[in-house]
């Protein structure tokens, strides 16, 4: 009898909607800031777990365009946490071969935070082991609108005819156009919606919803999510082919 182990399919790109920081804090009688801080700290272990599993790209929904509606004190605390995260983690990200990128609007962020973001992107730009994308002041509808505007400008300039606009051309103008679309989208804290995250890119992703609050999402939770993904058959609107374990779509991986 053969003892050869059959490897399970692993998503190349995992997108995560990190939810539940406030509830985590309230259950412990703590202020919201404590929950957000615990959520930031959880990123380190989760990223390492996905790296160990062979996931090449991780995208995190850190702050949505709609999050500006939260109380000013909470927004300021979140921005401070983002800044502190860059201060404390950039060296380890560099050592671990992680390339860090930010997607989303930048015109509403402070100059000091933008400076740190630019430094983080530049100092990790040659890393190729893993791509970590942080969505900050990001919205999927904004992303698609920006892509449409870019194409409209090309049409206006005579560089593109209207009938030459295709799904592929629009996709090339989106955030993360240089990477394969997410294979798996995870949302924590028992919520079952996308909340305007990567609306175009998640069209054919598998979804995994769990009750764990984000600060409690650890290696065991990562393993459960990856097992759920491995147990699924991905068809992309077609029929299951002869190789069900060949789960990846046809977009090429490019961490450059």
- Of 67, 150, 196, 248, which is the active-site residue? 67
Both tokens assigned to 4: 């050869």
Q: Which of 62, 86, 81 is nearest to 136 (CA)?
A: 62
Complete DSSP assignment for the chain: ---PPPPPP--SEEEEE---HHHHHHHTT--HHHHHHHHHHHHHHHHHHHHHHT--EEEEEEEEGGGGGS-HHHHHHHHHHHHHHHHHHHHHHHHTTEEEEEES--TTS-HHHHHHHHHHHHHTTT--SEEEEEEEEE-HHHHHHHHHHHHHHHHHTTSS-GGG--HHHHHTTSTTTTSPPPSEEEE-TT----TTSSTTTTTT-EEEE-SS-GGG--HHHHHHHHHHHHTS---TTS---S-TT----SSPP---
> Could you confirm whether 19 is annotated as catalytic?
yes
Both tokens assigned to 224: 């459960």
Q: Which of 200, 177, 53, 78 is nearest to 136 (CA)?
A: 78
Q: Measured in Å, how far apart are the chain's first and last C-alpha atoms?
A: 44
Give catalytic residues, as residue numbers: 19, 67
């Amino acid at each position: 009898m053969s003892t050869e182990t059959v490897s399970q399919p692993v998503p190349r790109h995992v997108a995560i909607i990190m939810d539940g920081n406030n509830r985590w804090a309230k259950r412990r009688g703590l202020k919201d800031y404590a929950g957000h801080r615990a959520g930031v700290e959880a990123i380190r272990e989760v990223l390492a777990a996905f790296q160990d599993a062979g996931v090449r790209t991780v995208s995190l929904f850190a702050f949505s365009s709609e999050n500006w509606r939260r109380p000013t004190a909470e927004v300021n605390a979140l921005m401070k946490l983002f800044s502190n995260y860059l201060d404390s983690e950039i060296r380890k990200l560099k050592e671990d071969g992680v390339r860090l990128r930010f997607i989303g609007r930048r015109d509403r962020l402070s100059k000091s935070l933008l400076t740190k973001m630019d430094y983080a992107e530049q100092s990790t730009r040659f890393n190729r082991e893993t791509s970590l994308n942080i969505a900050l002041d990001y919205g999927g509808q904004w992303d698609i609108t920006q892509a449409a505007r870019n194409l409209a400008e090309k049409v206006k300039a005579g560089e593109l005819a209207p009938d030459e606009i295709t799904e592929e051309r629009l996709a090339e103008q989106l955030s993360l156009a240089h990477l394969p679309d997410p294979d798996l989208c995870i949302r924590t804290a028992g919520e079952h919606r996308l909340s305007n995250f990567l609306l175009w890119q998640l069209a054919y992703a598998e979804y995994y919803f769990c009750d764990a609050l984000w600060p409690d999402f650890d290696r065991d939770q990562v393993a459960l999510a990856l097992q759920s993904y491995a147990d699924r058959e991905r068809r992309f609107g077609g029929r299951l082919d002869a190789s069900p374990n060949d789960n990846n779509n046809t977009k090429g991986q490019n961490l450059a």
